[in-house]
Structure 1
Amino acid sequence: PQPAPQPAPQPEPTPRATPEPLPPLEAAPEIRGVAFPLHSRDPRYDYRPSLAELPEHGIQQVLVVVHLFQPRGVSPFPARHPLKTPRDEVVRTVITAARELGLEVGLMPIVLLETPHKGEWRGNLTPPDKQGRTRGQAGFDGRQADWARWFRGYRREVLHYARLAQRAGASLFSVGSELSSTEAQAEHWTALIREVRGLFAGELTYSANWDHYENVQVWQQLDYVGLSGYYELVSRQNKTPTLRELIAGWGRWRDKILAWHRRAGLSDHPLLFTEVGYASIDGCAAKPWDYTLDTRLDLSEQRDCYRAFAHAWGGQEALGGVFFYEWWGHGGRADRGYTPRGKPAMSVIREWFRVGSGR
């Protein structure tokens, strides 16, 4: 039999270009922290073991988050909930324990809705008018919404926590978070900030939603320009973003924020990310704000989003600090939630927070 013909030699495939290595991370900002929400409804829950882990990762600050509640976005005002809001002694214990570990502490009350209707959240609150009519009811005019009543209720709670923060030794206090529809009420905010200044000796911020910071009218009255940093880094069609694409995505947002910060004359008011976080799931880069996203576990995408933030913001003089969201739950490599605890993202935090820290 004839020998089988040999296949013609094929040209060598063109090798894929090896991406250039990324430059070293530049220094992290002065505030190197995590957001520490008090989610547990068990008054006996002990937060101290998870706090004790933080210093070994280079974390120097914690932002303790407590929750106020109102039933819906059209309810009159928020208040502490007897079961869902942590008791004052729990908040004090957490602040004291953190300070004993050498951590600086901030306190941030936020508003949650108990039974929100579709589309409602704390960013689009509209209180009833003085006749009790709510959004969607006949005769309601949003221009007549009773904001004075809403702020009376909100003021009561914020001043309560400002006193608690002062007595417990906190060094930072946030007067609010992501309350976008209230931000036009500059007179009410000015009065509230003035009262908080009279009670709290530390520094103050407000946390604007990631797409609404240009609308806040009281930045000059605060020490930090607070941002809730859930910026969309890639399009939703990009299912497998590369690290370089994520860095470019953060770079675009960074440049926009810095240009506004200069234009607004806020150079004496450093930027402070009160929340930056990513669930460890597919799509977290495209919709980091969507806590309802239910996709498969993806520890790498979460890790790369953290690294992209560090590369984009490292060494930026305008950045005063960042609190990564969130330090809650056991985490681990099977967890799909936001916490970086026990996940590859934690190594990025540890690496970056030690750059220039002397630790």
Structure 2
Amino acid sequence: MKISRFYLFLFFFLNTLLSAIAQDEVSQKINGISMVASRNSIDMGKAEDLKQLGSNYIAVMPYAFMPENENPKLIFDTKRQWSGETVKGIGTDVRILKSQGLQVMIKPHIWVGNGVFTGDISMLSDKDWKQFEENYRTYILTFARLAEQHRVSLLCIGTELHEFVSQRPEFWCRLIDEVRSIYTGKLTYAENWDKHNNLMLWDSLDFIGIDAYFPISESKTPSLEQVNMVWKDLAKELNSFSKFHNTKILFTEYGYRSIDYAGREPWNSSRNQHPANETAQLNLIKGLHQSLWDEDWFAGGFLWKWFPNYDPNSKRYKNRFAVQGKVSEIYLKSFFSRPTIIEY
């Protein structure tokens, strides 16, 4: 009898322990980094750099290409792409990142010819829509299977596709069901900051995904106080939106260039020649963190972006989104090291 009680106790103890381990992936605030795809798979040293930054989640981004936003053709996983954009390369990167204890989000992106915004993808006929849907389905299910194979924690099923989602809601409902039939991790979708409140998908997903390039300041170098004041009002709106859907908000992208007026149009990635301004980037990132990161409705976010092949001797990163080699990198190491365990 004593032996039976002992084994019963052991069973419940191990079951509780395993459940806690399984839930650990979703009990942490997501201190994420969006990693730029590289020509070759990353090595252990590149993964260690991300670990040393203090991040716990890395977004890897397989790209597909469209010749035009009204053409249903969708091209992905080709020999002409860089390794970090392909099925094989993503799989290798995921294995290396996970070997360092880092969790992963696979976040597919589409690149449209001539730089057309993905939110404007829209077919001219129902026939073309159906062809595009089938192509997109193949694309997403390919990476859903890869995500399940490598036990990836989080899968994003689309990035900034407002017209596609709005015009073809039945397709997206079917796609979500099909993805869930083969992938057991968490799901999100990444919508642009100004369109997230117009979609009906959120109740079917585990996180409300927002690419959070909200305009913050017209100042050349916004102060931390100015940034916090703007986010205070935005946070109220986001909190209400999260509660309405009973779903936490995840910033699938956020970030700022290290330039003058970085908070005016944070989404602007054009190669303009604004002077470099590391303080502007730092204050904008820090203000966002101070305003949102400890809120219980907020799941965390993925900073845009990290270059695994960063060259400290190159000037090409000086006024871009990269934080490497800047005061923002030093700050992130300190911020990400804080204990931020949140009960989901």
Q: TM-score, normalised by structure 1?
A: 0.80
Residue 37 of structure 1: aligned partner: 36
In structure 2, C-alpha distance between the alignment counterparts of 1:321 and 1:313, rounded to whole Å:
8
1:54 paired to 2:50: yes
Residue 70 of structure 1: aligned partner: 66
- 5 Å-filtered alignment, 1:77-96, equals 77-80=73-76, 82=78, 83-84=80-81, 86-96=85-95
In structure 2, C-alpha distance between the alignment counterparts of 1:348 and 1:148, rounded to whole Å:
47
Is contact 1:171-1:203 (8 Å) kept?
yes
- 5 Å-filtered alignment, 1:90-169, equals 90-116=89-115, 120-129=116-125, 146-169=128-151
Alignment-mate amino acid for residue 234 of structure 1: S
1:282 paired to 2:282: no
Is contact 1:76-1:128 (8 Å) kept?
no
The structure with more radius of gyration: 1
1:47/1:71 CA distance change after superposition, 3 Å:
farther
Q: TM-score, normalised by structure 2?
A: 0.83
Alignment-mate amino acid for residue 260 of structure 2: D
Structure 2 unaligned regions, length at least 5: 1-26
1:47 shift after superposition: 5.0
Q: How many residues align?
A: 306
In structure 2, C-alpha distance between the alignment counterparts of 1:353 and 1:233, rounded to whole Å:
23
In structure 2, C-alpha distance between the alignment counterparts of 1:47 and 1:80, rounded to whole Å:
23
1:88 shift after superposition: 1.9
Residue 224 of structure 2: aligned partner: 243
RMSD: 2.0
- 5 Å-filtered alignment, 1:162-311, equals 162-184=144-166, 185-235=168-218, 238-262=219-243, 265-267=244-246, 269-292=247-270, 293-311=272-290
In structure 2, C-alpha distance between the alignment counterparts of 1:89 and 1:216, rounded to whole Å:
33
1:179/1:48 CA distance change after superposition, 3 Å:
farther
In structure 1, C-alpha distance between the alignment counterparts of 2:262 and 2:73, rounded to whole Å:
32
Structure 1 unaligned regions, length at least 5: 1-27, 131-144
Q: 2:334 aligns with which of 312, 334, 351?
A: 351
Alignment-mate amino acid for residue 55 of structure 2: I
In structure 1, C-alpha distance between the alignment counterparts of 2:141 and 2:72, rounded to whole Å:
18
Identity over the aligned pairs, expressed in percent?
A: 24
1:349 shift after superposition: 1.8
In structure 1, C-alpha distance between the alignment counterparts of 2:161 and 2:70, rounded to whole Å:
13
Is contact 2:71-2:128 (8 Å) kept?
no
1:252/1:149 CA distance change after superposition, 3 Å:
same
Residue 330 of structure 1: aligned partner: 310
Is contact 1:69-1:81 (8 Å) kept?
no
